[in-house]
Amino acid sequence: MRVVAGTAKGLPLKAVPGTSTRPTTDKVKESVFNMIGPFFDGGIAVDLFAGSGGLGIEALSRGIDRVIFTDKDRKAIETIRANLAKTKLQERAEVYKVEAERAIKAMKKNGIQARLLFLDPPYHMEASYELMDKAAEIGIMTEDSIVVCEHAKEVALGAETKYFERFKHEPYGSTIISIYRFKGEEGEEIE
């Protein structure tokens, strides 16, 4: 596992010890960023269920201003911090050991406006994909925001949610990447 492109290109990343997380492969990571735009001109990203932090670190390397990493696993938090130190991107990151829904509520209190959300929960936690609508509902997603969901092929995510519409759906073996863009609430006009 490594950083694919940007300022930290080529640097290796540690995986979380044990079997509690499944790191996103370099091939899948590269495909994700090809689909959502290879490089960024700022903004905030949120990496819920961050695991090793690979997706958020890739976003930082490619020009996102700041990433908020959350995971409830202590080993994951230690791995994220080690990977941020290795890539020298820790100045632009916040790392929290917290459950995902509580993290979203805290971001609302702190006035966070994210343009990118990575949602890669453990595959057995299907209800966690509802957090994209929860994040939009409480107002932490920008009107041009994108949500990247990584899920098992057995998990059927809808083409639309209350606030988002899917514009990419790509299989990679037993993993599917579904990418959504903010559309606003039903009937709401987005300029």
pLDDT tens figures, 146-175: 999 999 888 889 999 999 999 999 998 888
pTM: 0.92
Instruction: Pull the structure tokens for residue 90.
Output: 């820790």
Residue 41 and residue 126: Cα distance in Å, rounded?
32
pLDDT in tens, 95-133: 999 999 999 999 999 999 999 999 998 877 888 899 999
Half-sphere exposure (CA, 13 Å, Cβ side) for 79? 25
Q: Nearest-CA neighbor of 67 among 87, 50, 51? A: 50
Render 4-57 in DSSP notation, one character per residue. -SSTTTT-B-PPPSSSS--PPPHHHHHHHHHHH-S--SS-EEEEET-TT-HHHH
Most confident range, picked from 29-33, 39-43, 131-135:
131-135
Residue 186's pLDDT is what?
62
Has residue 51 got a pLDDT over 90? yes
Q: Is the Cα dihedral 146, 23, 102, 134 positive or negative?
A: positive
Set out the domains of the chain in order of their start, with CATH numbers.
26-182 (3.40.50.150)
